[in-house]
């Protein structure tokens, strides 16, 4: 797969509004992870919560590393397929995507943070 060199464009007012609403209504797992990421707590990297990129809204995004972090709830196979296609498209534009389950975040936040730190070091 060849990587595109430009950004994903085309965020709409509706996507921006949805992102604001999602920031207000984070899941418990997203809140736990956001507490660890916000305010440059993780190796002084800035993260954004519920950040719009084109027609997508990323749970968390580090612009300096073009790193997206997604927290997935209990999803069925169709959602997994959709998430996989979305990750592939983001990769075409140079975004790296890490996915964690709600359970990972709630039961092993230190392991999740270790994985994120490893990715930030690349």
- Using H for helix, E for strand and C for coil, what is the string for 39-61? HHCCCCCCCEEEEEECCEEEEEE
Domain borders along the chain are 13-120
Pairing mode, strands 67-72 and 96-101: parallel
Residue of 65, 28, 72, 73 lying closest to 48 (CA atoms): 65
Quick one: pLDDT at residue 84?
A: 76
Q: Which helix (H) or strand (E) holds 114?
A: helix 109-120
What mean pLDDT comes out for the span 46-64?
92
Give the CATH superfamily of 13-120. VSR Endonuclease (3.40.960.10)
- The first and second tokens of residue 56, run together, are 């997508």
Q: Is the pLDDT of residue 8 over 60?
A: no
The answer to whether the CB of 79 falls within 8 A of the CB of 108 is no
Q: pTM for the complete prediction?
A: 0.83
Quick one: pLDDT at residue 1?
A: 46
What pLDDT digit, counting tens, does each position of 68-95 carry?
A: 999 987 654 566 777 777 888 888 888 9
Residue 76 DSSP symbol: -
């Amino acid at each position: 797969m060849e990587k595109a060199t430009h950004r994903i464009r085309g965020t709409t007012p509706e996507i921006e509004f949805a992102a604001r609403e999602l920031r207000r209504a984070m899941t418990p797992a997203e809140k736990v992870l956001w507490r660890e990421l916000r305010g440059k707590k993780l190796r002084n990297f800035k993260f954004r919560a519920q950040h719009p990129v084109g027609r997508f809204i990323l749970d968390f995004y580090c612009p300096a590393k073009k790193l997206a972090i997604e927290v997935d709830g209990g999803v069925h196979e169709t959602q997994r397929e959709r998430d996989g296609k979305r990750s592939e498209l983001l990769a075409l534009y140079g975004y790296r995507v890490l996915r964690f389950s709600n359970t990972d975040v709630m039961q092993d936040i230190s392991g999740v943070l270790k994985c994120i730190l490893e990715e930030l070091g690349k």
